[in-house]
A and B are shown apart, each in its own frame.
Chain A
Amino acid sequence: MRFLPAFGLIMPIVVIASVKTIPDAASEPLLCYVGGTMRPAVEEIAKMYTQKTGREILIDYAESGQLLIKIEQTNKGDLYVSHDPFLGALSRKGFLEKAWVVAGITPVMVVAKGNPKKIKGFTDLGRPGLKLIVTHPEYSMLGHLLPKMAEKAGIKDALYKNVVSETRGGGEAANAVIMGTADASIVWNAVARLRIDKLDTISIDPQYQLLKGVDAISSATFGSMDMGFVRVTMAVLTTSKNNQAAIKFAEFTAGKEASEIWKKFGFTQTEPQIIDKTTDMAVPRGSLFIHCAAGMRKAIDACAKSFEKKSGITVELNFDGSNRLLGQIKLTRKGDIYIPGDAEYGAMAEKEGLADSTTRKVICYLTPVIMVPKGNPLGIKTLNDFLKKGVKIGQGDEKSAAVGKQTIKLLALNNIDRNRWNKNVVLSTPTVNELGAAIKLGTITAAVVWNSIAKDYSDVAETIPFEQLKNIVSTVDGVILASCQNRSAAEAFLNFLVSEEGKKILQDAGYDVVKK
């Protein structure tokens, strides 16, 4: 025991000696906090960066939430890599200088190698007797996503009946599947990729996946969250003493060379995006004003209702003839989205700089058909029969409605004499909708309308299709207007229209989402 006092002397010296002398900021290594499943990828990117520039990067890894506590308490560190919703939390705490979106993550199903339980699709997770391990909603974004997806697939109760345990993170859940304590789990694609030699990955059916900007929820800790697109971000911290070096590394991480590494580790590729203190990180909110062709009314009405319910965004709809709408847009320079009855109008809007062509999305197809009163008393079979004496033609106004312009084209295509045709026209309507009503009221006896409109009047009218070669199908596009005040919400709405969910609503309303 005599040596005890000697130790008392030696130990403090050892401790102090082991403290490195602090080098100046310029050459000091960058401290990069890395949360979640991003560590292996960031490690490799950092190694590459060090080789190129000589700048050393220290990576401190823990759960993303724990890292936030460390940043808050130590006021140290240069960079923070996390996935949503932690960037929002970082920003709210005032530590965000600037952030780069470097990749994205998507949920996938994982099962033991060889898929012994034969899980094919997402709905199989509701199969009785299956043992599932999932992440806890309080600790993980995935925990929030899963119930929404399960709800979409209509297997929420069945799926949660199968849950044997809830973990904090996806890594733990995937490990449980490796160890065989559960049959399947839902984890991020990047988590699955790290375990590719031990697990099989099955993608979630697209119709059950969540939509960017549409499927959103609010949480007390993180505010509103977009569940359709989970971003991986690298943030430069306000605590960084070497801001310039940190920015350079962040740019590298968001750059081309690094994107290969993100890809290799199973992350989703994303559009480059920079976020700073002033960027509104919340999911789309507010309202949308949409100019929509009257012929699309039934479907777009239903879609807007469903979208409003899911996203909390208010949608105002302005229905009219496509060309009239274009006139209004030109005049007022107001509105967020334009959905004309034919792609030609969208192209015209783009040509005049009223709309952003890069945002154009195909929503559905409109096919002209001949509509006559029930029983077809005048025996109309083709456009030629329209020229018969006594036929009362109703026509969409060529200068107003898409169906009107399309009718004129059909006349040319079928070699119909315009003068004889015009003689029989008794009614010219601003939109296609009035034509159906006119047939019903008996004021006209023949019209060319969209197939989707004709279906609505099947109790009072008959539909006669054209020969395929003698017909022109209109493509209905949605495009974001230059006057758009709420771009993220507008993108979200268009994404919703073309999603599996939106397509189903369109189809149920009688619209063709696939070109026939």
Chain B
Amino acid sequence: MVRLKLPFFRIFTTSVLFAFTGAILLFLLADIVYVKSAPLREVLSSPDFHSAFTLSLITSVITAILSILVAVPAAYALSRFPFKGIIIFDVIVDFLIVMPVLVIGVSLLVFFRWGNELNASDSWLVRQAGAAIVFLGNIFIYNKPGIVFAQFFCSASFALRALKATFDGIDPRTEKVAMTLGCTRAGAFWRISLPLAKHGILAAAVLAWSRAFEIFGAVAIVAGSVRGKTEVMPTAIYLEFSIGRIEAALVISLVMIIEAFVILLLLRMFSRSNVFGVRGSS
């Protein structure tokens, strides 16, 4: 790094940072000022809000973990085992990033509907496949697991994207050296790449969690927005806005922000570093 004699550059970059975060804080402040204490108490003491809060927290954490479980091997394969045409699979992963979440939700429903059609087929094998899809549909549609299901398809691609970048950034020679020292391919991954990718995995988990936490459209389509049953925090915000209770919606938003702040801060402390710093040094 080149040492600057004058702190101009530092002052410039830091002031951009301050301006940006300052703007965010100003918006939050406006929200806080807008919210009166009455709706605050009313919302915080409502049982529907409590269930939405808990459900949001649990589903988003499960989704983040599931996303990592899928994204780690998939991203590793994309990064380490190229084959002709792998680029197609790389692009397919991005589908879920560019698709509007509403469309993702509707596509999931259309898929489950397909099960009914397959069920009417002449072929035994196709009927079995249809029955399996219908069985899954009954588990997910308008039920709590449907929340995780919808969240997963909206967030896993983000985790995968982040993890592929992480694995791409790890020198493959380190694994090769491990293998010359007697490690199997899996062993090299488990002992070398995975620990090296620790920060990347955390970053991916944060991305997946944030997305799962804020996603609404797909969840409402697949799991419904039933009060006290499949109502998550973004659903609650939508429901409040729809009847013009802007303060109540803002209260829930603020709670979401605090919740997110605590979780993101914990993750940063847990990794004892900047979780987005893929290189690992803070």
Q: Which residues of A contact B (CB under 8 A)?
A: 1, 4, 7-8, 11, 14-16, 18-20, 22, 31, 37, 39-40, 43, 58-62, 66, 69-70, 73-76, 169, 171-172, 174-175, 178-179, 191, 194-195, 198
Total contacts A-B at CB 8 Å: 94
- 7 closest A-B pairs by CB: A73-B109, A195-B244, A60-B224, A58-B226, A194-B243, A73-B113, A171-B242
Residues of A within 8 A of B280 (CB): none
Residues of B within 8 A of A58 (CB): 142, 224, 226, 229
Residues of B within 8 A of A60 (CB): 142, 224-226
List 22 A–B pairs whose Cβ atoms lie within 8 Å, in order of A's numbering: A4-B68, A4-B72, A7-B69, A11-B62, A15-B62, A15-B148, A31-B224, A39-B239, A40-B243, A58-B224, A58-B226, A59-B226, A59-B227, A60-B224, A60-B225, A62-B220, A75-B116, A76-B142, A171-B241, A171-B243, A174-B244, A175-B246
Question: Given A18-B145, A73-B106, is A61 in contact with B239 using a C-beta cutoff of 8 Å?
Answer: yes
Question: Given A59-B226, A74-B113, is A194 in contact with B244 using a C-beta cutoff of 8 Å?
Answer: yes
Which of A15, A19, A61 has its CB near the most chain B CB atoms (within 10 A)?
Answer: A61
**Contact across chains for A8 and B69 when beta carbons are under 8 A apart:** yes
Q: Mark B209-226, 1 if CB is under 8 A from A, else 0.
A: 000000000001100111
B139 CB-CB contact with A under 8 Å? yes
**Contact across chains for A73 and B143 when beta carbons are under 8 A apart:** no
- Other-chain residue from B143, B221, B239, B244 in contact with A198 (beta carbon distance below 8 A): B244
Residues of B within 8 A of A175 (CB): 241, 244, 246
B100 CB-CB contact with A under 8 Å? no
- Other-chain residue from A7, A39, A74 in contact with B242 (beta carbon distance below 8 A): A39
Distance in Å: Cβ of B76 to nearest Cβ of chain A: 13
Cα distance, A1 to B145, chains bound together (Å)? 26
Cα distance, A175 to B34, chains bound together (Å)? 14
Cα distance, A198 to B221, chains bound together (Å)? 31
**Contact across chains for B244 and A19 when beta carbons are under 8 A apart:** no
- Other-chain residue from B141, B194, B221 in contact with A66 (beta carbon distance below 8 A): B221
Cα distance, A195 to B246, chains bound together (Å)? 10
Residues of A within 8 A of B72 (CB): 4
- Other-chain residue from A31, A39, A59, A74 in contact with B243 (beta carbon distance below 8 A): A39
Chain B residue nearest in CB terms to A36: B242
B110 CB-CB contact with A under 8 Å? yes
Residues of B within 8 A of A194 (CB): 243-244
Distance in Å: Cβ of A40 to nearest Cβ of chain B: 6
Distance in Å: Cβ of A5 to nearest Cβ of chain B: 9
Question: Given A39-B242, A171-B242, A194-B244, is A7 in contact with B65 using a C-beta cutoff of 8 Å?
Answer: yes
Q: Mark B75-115, 1 if CB is under 8 A from A, else 0.
A: 00000000000000000000000000000001001101100
Q: Which residues of B contact A (CB under 8 A)?
A: 62, 65-66, 68-69, 72, 106, 109-110, 112-113, 116, 137-139, 141-145, 148, 194-195, 198, 201, 220-221, 224-227, 229, 239, 241-244, 246
Residues of A within 8 A of B138 (CB): 22
**Contact across chains for B195 and A76 when beta carbons are under 8 A apart:** no
Distance in Å: Cβ of A45 to nearest Cβ of chain B: 14
Chain B residue nearest in CB terms to A19: B139
Cα distance, A115 to B147, chains bound together (Å)? 43
Chain A residue nearest in CB terms to B138: A22
Residues of A within 8 A of B112 (CB): 73-74
Cα distance, A20 to B145, chains bound together (Å)? 10
Distance in Å: Cβ of A57 to nearest Cβ of chain B: 10
Cα distance, A280 to B220, chains bound together (Å)? 33
Distance in Å: Cβ of B233 to nearest Cβ of chain A: 15
Cα distance, A174 to B142, chains bound together (Å)? 30
Distance in Å: Cβ of B241 to nearest Cβ of chain A: 7
Chain A residue nearest in CB terms to B141: A74
Residues of B within 8 A of A4 (CB): 68-69, 72
- Other-chain residue from A59, A70, A73, A171 in contact with B244 (beta carbon distance below 8 A): A171
Cα distance, A11 to B70, chains bound together (Å)? 12
Cα distance, A4 to B197, chains bound together (Å)? 14
- Other-chain residue from B113, B116, B198 in contact with A1 (beta carbon distance below 8 A): B198
Chain B residue nearest in CB terms to A12: B66
Cα distance, A61 to B228, chains bound together (Å)? 13
Residues of A within 8 A of B137 (CB): 74
Distance in Å: Cβ of A273 to nearest Cβ of chain B: 27
Residues of A within 8 A of B148 (CB): 15
Residues of A within 8 A of B201 (CB): 1
Cα distance, A369 to B254, chains bound together (Å)? 77
Residues of A within 8 A of B106 (CB): 69, 73
Question: Given A43-B227, A60-B142, A171-B243, is A73 in contact with B110 using a C-beta cutoff of 8 Å?
Answer: yes
Distance in Å: Cβ of B242 to nearest Cβ of chain A: 5
Chain A residue nearest in CB terms to B59: A18
Distance in Å: Cβ of B163 to nearest Cβ of chain A: 13
Residues of A within 8 A of B143 (CB): 19-20
**Contact across chains for A62 and B195 when beta carbons are under 8 A apart:** no
Residues of B within 8 A of A75 (CB): 113, 116
Cα distance, A198 to B62, chains bound together (Å)? 40
Residues of B within 8 A of A8 (CB): 69
Cα distance, A516 to B246, chains bound together (Å)? 53
